[in-house]
Amino acid sequence: MARMIRPLANLYEQLRRLPGVGSKTAMRLAYHIIDMPEGEVRQLASALMGAKDSIHYCTRCFNLTDGDLCSVCADSARDRHTICVVEQPQDIAAMERSHGYNGLYHVLHGVLSPLDGIGPDKLRIRELFLRLQQEDISEIIIATNSDVEGEATATYLAQLLKPVGITVSRIAHGLPMGGDLEYADEVTLSKALENRRAM
Amino acid sequence: MARMIRPLANLYEQLRRLPGVGSKTAMRLAYHIIDMPEGEVRQLASALMGAKDSIHYCTRCFNLTDGDLCSVCADSARDRHTICVVEQPQDIAAMERSHGYNGLYHVLHGVLSPLDGIGPDKLRIRELFLRLQQEDISEIIIATNSDVEGEATATYLAQLLKPVGITVSRIAHGLPMGGDLEYADEVTLSKALENRRAM
């Protein structure tokens, strides 16, 4: 028994491909799954296929949805004049948890990353401009991450949007709430100073 | 969008039940799976069901197998006079990796744990004694873990096996190879002293 039996090895290899799952975790999960009641394994497998089969992108904003429009686009109570541009669907989930935004979204599904061969045509930028023609939008809030690629994408989008004549804003960067000045990193602190507001 | 869409929430809940998968990991895995090519998700789902459907216990030693006998029991080159008793199938995998043992195994599928309601009848002890009648066994090596339950199970088995007149041994406990005396914990060190060998 130098090698694992084939169905176990197969399960191990499939689990091993998931992000953050190393060889020990994959092994532990594989043995756990073999010990699970058959019904539970079946539920897990069908949850996998169910999610993959029924979830696709909202035809308007490219958020995840199991219908035609996502729950935000379909919600008539939302402000239809503002679009918040994010990198990924999970960013929308984070924004929604904050309860601080009541407008629409647009998911780019990535950021500009020339080294990885991701140019503007790989992102949902064309679709964003199509929305600007079809919808009555007065402000675009760019909420890409504050890493190098996110900042570059934000700058690129802002330049592209300038001729359109819409207010373009960027979410604020500064000290996190409850954060100690003493422990803030230099970049965040200088950003917080630079972005100071009159009060 | 206060709540997640249902197929995503369902996948999240199923992943959340796996050992060592917290809510953030489950969320990250769920989004990753939705982004995976459909073929890969299908492979993962079928690996899950394939492992569950085709893997069962060896009819002799209760190791995992996709056949009738496991690869150890079916291997005619193994020493058929020694049985190494382990808690779980994964313990066999660890023993086999060590290349230090060439006999047969017997998997208890648990340890005695009165607090969890696991008594001798829940373990494969009856099946072990049945093997002693049917096979020509001269030594039993008890290789349960060295925690409280493992030690209690080893003691219980040794007492039960004494009247049978077979050599019963316990795997050695002491300093791990390459281990520093300075950093060894007290219990291991006193065990290593107690089990010292003439040389």
B60 within a domain of the structure (yes/no): no
Q: What ipTM did this prediction achieve?
A: 0.83
How many structural domains comprise chain B? 2
Q: How many CB atoms lie within 10 A of CB A68?
A: 11
A36 within a domain of the structure (yes/no): yes
Q: Does A69 touch chain B (CB under 8 A)?
A: no
**Same-domain status, A121 and A146:** yes
Confidence at residue A53, expressed as pLDDT on a 0 to 100 scale: 92
Q: Grade residue B9 by pLDDT with cuts at 50, 70 and 90.
A: very high
A81 within a domain of the structure (yes/no): yes
* CATH number of the domain where residue B43 is located: 1.10.8.420
**Same-domain status, B38 and B74:** no
Residue B49 has pLDDT above 70, yes or no: yes
Long-range contacts of B123-132 (CB under 8 A, 24+ apart): B123/B153, B124/B62, B125/B157, B125/B160, B127/B62, B128/B83, B128/B85, B129/B160, B129/B164, B131/B60, B131/B61, B131/B83, B131/B106, B132/B164, B132/B166
**Same-domain status, B48 and B104:** no
Q: Does B145 touch chain A (CB under 8 A)?
A: no
Confidence at residue A1, expressed as pLDDT on a 0 to 100 scale: 41
Distance CA B138, CA B82 (A): 6
A1 within a domain of the structure (yes/no): no
* CATH number of the domain where residue B189 is located: 3.40.1360.10
**Same-domain status, B184 and B113:** yes
Distance CA A197, CA B45 (A): 53
Mean pLDDT of chain B: 91
B interface test, pick of A13, A14, A65, A99 with most B CB neighbours within 10 Å: A14
**Same-domain status, B192 and B104:** yes
Which of B19, B49, B89 is opposite residue A45, by nearest beta carbon? B49
Q: Grade residue B128 by pLDDT with cuts at 50, 70 and 90.
A: very high
Residue B2 has pLDDT above 70, yes or no: no
Q: Does A66 touch chain B (CB under 8 A)?
A: yes
Which of B10, B11, B66 is opposite residue A5, by nearest beta carbon? B66
Which of A28, A40, A48 is opposite residue B19, by nearest beta carbon? A28
**Same-domain status, A73 and A112:** yes
- Smallest CA–CA distance, residue A49 to chain B, in Å, is 7
Contacts of A50 in chain B (CB under 8 A): 7, 10-11
**Same-domain status, B73 and B16:** no
**Same-domain status, A130 and A82:** yes
Confidence at residue A3, expressed as pLDDT on a 0 to 100 scale: 67
Q: Is the pTM of this model over 0.95?
A: no
B61 within a domain of the structure (yes/no): no
**Same-domain status, A19 and A92:** no
Strands across the sheet with B104-107, in order? B104-107, B82-86, B139-142, B167-170
CB B79 within 8 A of CB A64: no
Among residues A80, A101, A77, A79, which one has the least CA distance to residue A91?
Answer: A101
**Same-domain status, B47 and B105:** no
Residue B3 has pLDDT above 70, yes or no: no
Q: Grade residue B1 by pLDDT with cuts at 50, 70 and 90.
A: very low
Distance CA B12, CA B30 (A): 6
Query: Tens of pLDDT along B132-191?
Result: 999 999 999 999 998 899 999 999 999 999 999 899 999 988 888 887 888 888 888 888
- Smallest CA–CA distance, residue B113 to chain A, in Å, is 18
Contacts of A43 in chain B (CB under 8 A): 14
CB B120 within 8 A of CB B97: no
B128 within a domain of the structure (yes/no): yes
Which of B34, B89, B92 is opposite residue A55, by nearest beta carbon? B34
Residues in chain A where the model's pLDDT stays below 50: 1-2
Listed in sequence order, the residues at least 6 apart from A98 whose beta carbon sits closer than 8 Å to its beta carbon are none
**Same-domain status, A103 and A43:** no
B93 within a domain of the structure (yes/no): yes
A28 within a domain of the structure (yes/no): yes
Query: Tens of pLDDT along A62-109?
Result: 999 999 999 999 999 999 999 999 999 999 998 998 888 999 999 999
**Same-domain status, A149 and A80:** yes
Q: B91 is in which domain, residue-wise? A: 67-198
Is B19–A27 a contact, with Cβ atoms under 8 angstroms apart?
no
